[in-house]
Structure 1
Amino acid sequence: MNSIAIFCGSALGTDSIFLDTAQKMGKAIAEQGKTLVYGGGRSGLMGVVADSALQAGGQVIGVIPHALVDRELAHPHLTELYVVNNMHERKTKMSELSDAFIALPGGAGTLEEIFEQWTWAQLGIHLKPCAFLNVEGFYDDLLKFIHLTTQKGFTQARFTESIIASDSIEDILQQFKTFQAPQPKWGMANQQDLVK
């Protein structure tokens, strides 16, 4: 596993622990010699995690749509920055570049990104792990809801159980090393057919 995608807020949130955790996340990825892949922005937790990885000597790849570059939201000091046409291309490119995905605290965009990757794993588009860094219980209610979808017959148990959730960065990174992907829903699918 050489690269890890981080999904997180473009705001800092109301609690300083979110900023602190983003700093620790970027540093941990860099110190393990992994490449950080993220949305390419300089604001909020996105900017914090990128800055932290860069300061620790890590490689950071950003993927950002033209519209956000034009609004001067692109981070100016990344190892590499891909500028794409839209949000759909952004998520596809981030998936291609990454070996695993972690959601830090964030809002609708963060949730949409991690859920899409988890969905793609269920369909066999990729076999990569998805994780929630559950900072001070931030994702407790969401994780309960995910389990409810299994109880009510909408998500197969093996996919719910494949989600990695922890309040420890080190624990998540360790679980990535031993991750075993569940059997996809209908066997291996053709990625190009499903994401285009």
Structure 2
Amino acid sequence: MHKTHAHDGAPGAISHARSYELFSAIAFAGRRRRIFGRLVELAEVGAGDVVLDVGCGPGYLTALAARAATPNGRALGVDVSEPMIAQAQRLRAGANCAFEVGAAQGLSAADATFDVVLSSLAIHHITEEARATAFAEMFRVLRPGGRVLIADFLPPEGPLARHLVGSTAGRTMRDNPVERIAPMLGDAGFDVRATTQVSWFLHCVRADKPGGDE
């Protein structure tokens, strides 16, 4: 859902930041705040946390995380799309909510910077060859004991649904291998805590970085 670069030829609304914002609000049928709020809850974002949202798009989840981290916490959203970051800055940047251009496979943050890493509807846009690197980067920038929550589209079931999704959104969403997220997080060093389905289309994996006070 959060596109790769603006010049990568992404189809339809996801290649245009303002259209994407409208598309996202409509697609969630008035439940966007509830669904993304649930992601913040599953990641246990709380006051004082420093949060990174990888593949933030126009920043809706980032802003919710920033709100949950107040007082004294903050959230940073990163996305490879400059138009998406510009849109996020225009709509949602604030005293404790910032955005910058960046790729999951090469995060600019120092080691052990964040308490929580979030990524929603973005992993399927990262090539399969690069996903292990992206998860390793998330592990690197998390503090010991930190939490990661990955949410991505469940692939459609049934031939008609698969045809419709494939013809409109492409193979990456039609064949999205969400079942690989948990084992890949484990390979990156995380302790996988739970997998959860949020709404009818979101597969979520919560994992922790070993260490901290545990």
TM-score bracket relative to the smaller structure: 0.3 to 0.5
| Larger RCO (CA under 8 A, 6+ residues apart) | 1
Structure richer in helix, relative to its length: 1
TM-score (norm 1): 0.46
TM-score (norm 2): 0.44
Structure richer in strand, relative to its length: 2
